[in-house]
Chain A
Amino acid sequence: MKKDIDIKSVAKLAAINLTETDEKKFEKDLNIILEHVDALSKMNIEDEEINIHPLGEILNLREDVSSEFLTHDEAMSNSPETEDGHFVVPPSLD
């Protein structure tokens, strides 16, 4: 299939700020890889079923029991910035 990577918008989706040099390099590398994986498009596998678990295992659910894990201090211990027991970030827009 046609490769028309809009690297800027991909980087925006991935939340990675790229320099122009980065953009060029990644665009080139991605195109090399995508060209290679294009072989898949020729496979005739329409009817294959998809199992999320490689062994086809199904989901086990857990009982609704609550237990304590991290203390407040443990939860906050790696935080770059805190205030009144909250994590703090620059303003986020809704």
Chain B
Amino acid sequence: MNVSNLSISEISNLYKNKELKPSEVYEEVFTNASLSESIIHAHLKLFQDEATEASKLSDERYEKGNPLSDIDGIPIAIKDNINLKNHETTCSSKMLSNYVSPYDATVIKKLRNNGVIFTGKTNLDEFAMGSSTENSAFGPTKNPWNPEHVPGGSSGGSAAVVSVGSAVASLGSDTGGSIRQPASFCGVVGFKPTYGTVSRYGLVAFASSLDQIGPITNSVEDAKILYNSIKGHDPLDATSIKESLVEIPTDKNAKVGVVKELMEEGISDESRKEVEKTIKLLKENGNKVVEVSLPLTKMALSIYYLIAPAECSANLSRFDGVRYGIREAGSTSYEMMENTRAEGFGEEVKKRILLGTYALSAGYYDAYYGQALKARSAITKDFENIFKEVDYLISPTTPTPAFKFGEKTENPLEMYMSDLCTIPANLAGIPAISIPTGLSKQDMPLSIQLMSPARTDSSLLEFSESIEKLLSFNQRTSLLEDMK
């Protein structure tokens, strides 16, 4: 049986009907991993023994007819910036290359209690800073559709493993598009939930007010299942919100706005055409689609590149060689810290720490960080206003399909531009999803992004499922078949 083509609910039903065992599914995804890893390098660590053990325990539970949940026995990969007890959490950084976490993140606890099989930890741009995984201290991940192309980032590993079938689903984290952009590049679904709906406790912070954990899956339905099992208020995260879900139309009464500014310059024809194709399908379905304008989205990149580095400059201060991680010698403790941080951090991380430190330093705070916070409030209001007119917003997820390695390493802005369409949702804290729609001329995946008001995650997922049906695009990478 080729489980790669099965959804979580299909697998779960087969388990319950005793037609398939978790250990068989795990064996298959592990085989896929062992075959593909040498080419795509998506996992930093495979938990073979532990996962095999876990899958057998899951077998027994189904045997006895008492699985822990609907995702019991589902093999899931975890981005390596999420803490999993007694395993390394490296954040793809030399700094934490030897760090073994003594605790579970809240999302891990939830998944563990649901009987999930953890396949391993996946590669990312160092501390989730980047859009290609080229910033990983342990080497980049390759795009399963074409290894000459990047898988996107920062959750490149998590997107690639789902795409290639070495995990049924994965968790990523999204600060400016780090779930949606790699999902788009790898032809899978990536969902960034409303800020605060999923606990950040145990997610190594990049930019605390923007970070959000979310699922990367083969289908919207899978994303919904995984999201439902990780969401919920967490007393360990003061930014976690108490559930107060809002429902909006998900049928043909749903009104969709096309964000004018995200269809203009900087967006490739190929990306734009996918949105137009989807609009046509929606209209045929009876949905009302109108063009809307969010002029401040043009400022999103600037706002983001002040807020995220400022927060990261403080969030990453704890990596100092004192209590954990690598340590470089120094004659005083400060010198030790300076040398450790020089050695432990890669270039992009240093750049953002320096940028954030500068933006927060005396005399510049008001002009930079203070101004960025106000601009963020303004953009959030713009979104609130536009959502009085439409239920959903549609745009490309990325300006272009996956680019090639080394293509955007000269000017920092070029790489940052690839998050143009995804950043606004992080600033406004609203949910957003990337759905694969088709292939480019070079046979690389293309996608669209849907956004909706804060707390309407369930509606967004439901509406996305119907769009996914309309699109009926379900092509997978042939990497493994080509290898076999």
Contact = CB atoms under 8 A, between A and B. Distances in A.
- Are chains A and B touching directly in their complex (CB below 8 angstroms)? yes
Contacts of A29: 351, 412
A29 B325 CA distance: 28
B374 to A, nearest CB: 4
A45 B321 contact: no
B302 A37 contact: yes
A14 B372 contact: no
Name the interface size band of chain A. 35 or more
B377 A55 contact: no
Contacts of B321: 80
Interface string A29-59: 1101110111111010110111111110101
A30 B429 contact: no
B411 A32 contact: yes
A81 B196 contact: no
Main secondary structure of the interface of A (DSSP, over half): loop
A85 interface: no
Given A50-B373, A55-B241, A87-B322, A15 B338 contact: yes
Interface string B280-291: 000000000000
Contact of B342 (A16, A50, A81, A90): A16
Interface in B90-145: 98-100, 102-103
Contacts of B367: 1, 41
Nearest to A11: B354
Given A17-B342, A37-B306, A55-B454, A90 B428 contact: no
B335 interface: yes
B211 to A, nearest CB: 11
A54 B332 CA distance: 40
A51 B305 CA distance: 18
A66 interface: no
Interface in B215-272: 235, 238-239, 241
A32 B239 CA distance: 33
A1 B320 CA distance: 33
Given A78-B99, A91-B332, A16 B241 contact: no
B357 A10 contact: yes
B377 A16 contact: no
B381 to A, nearest CB: 8
Interface string B322-352: 1111110111111111110110010100110
Interface string B190-208: 0000111000000000000
Which one of A32, A40, A70 has the highest number of Cβ atoms from chain B below 10 Å of its Cβ? A40
Which one of B103, B302, B361, B380 has the highest number of Cβ atoms from chain A below 10 Å of its Cβ? B302
Name the interface size band of chain B. 35 or more
A51 to B, nearest CB: 7
Given A26-B351, A32-B411, A55-B454, A18 B371 contact: no
Contacts of A81: 327
Given A26-B351, A40-B299, A54-B209, A45 B378 contact: yes
A55 B426 CA distance: 11
Main secondary structure of the interface of B (DSSP, over half): helix
B368 interface: yes
Contact of B380 (A26, A34, A54, A87): A54
A55 B355 CA distance: 26
B470 interface: no
A32 B416 CA distance: 12
Nearest to B197: A55
A60 B368 CA distance: 29
A48 B375 contact: yes
A51 B377 contact: yes
Contact of A10 (B299, B302, B358): B358
Interface in A6-23: 7, 10-11, 13-18, 22
B413 interface: yes
Contact of B413 (A22, A32, A69): A32
A1 B365 CA distance: 13
A16 to B, nearest CB: 5
B196 A40 contact: no
Interface string A57-89: 101101000000110001101111100000101
B209 A79 contact: no
A45 B341 contact: no
B374 A50 contact: yes
Contacts of A15: 317, 320, 334, 337-338, 341
A6 to B, nearest CB: 9
Nearest to B326: A80
26 contacts: A7-B354, A10-B357, A15-B320, A16-B341, A16-B342, A16-B345, A16-B350, A30-B351, A32-B412, A37-B302, A37-B368, A40-B368, A41-B367, A46-B374, A50-B374, A51-B377, A54-B454, A55-B429, A62-B235, A78-B99, A80-B321, A80-B326, A87-B322, A87-B323, A89-B336, A93-B332
Interface of B: 98-100, 102-103, 194-196, 209-210, 235, 238-239, 241, 299, 301-303, 305-306, 313, 317, 320-327, 329-339, 341-342, 345, 347, 350-351, 353-355, 357-358, 361, 367-368, 370-378, 380, 411-413, 416, 427-429, 454-455
For the complex of A and B, the 8 pairs showing the least CB-CB separation, nearest first, are A54-B429, A78-B324, A48-B374, A17-B342, A92-B333, A80-B327, A37-B302, A17-B338
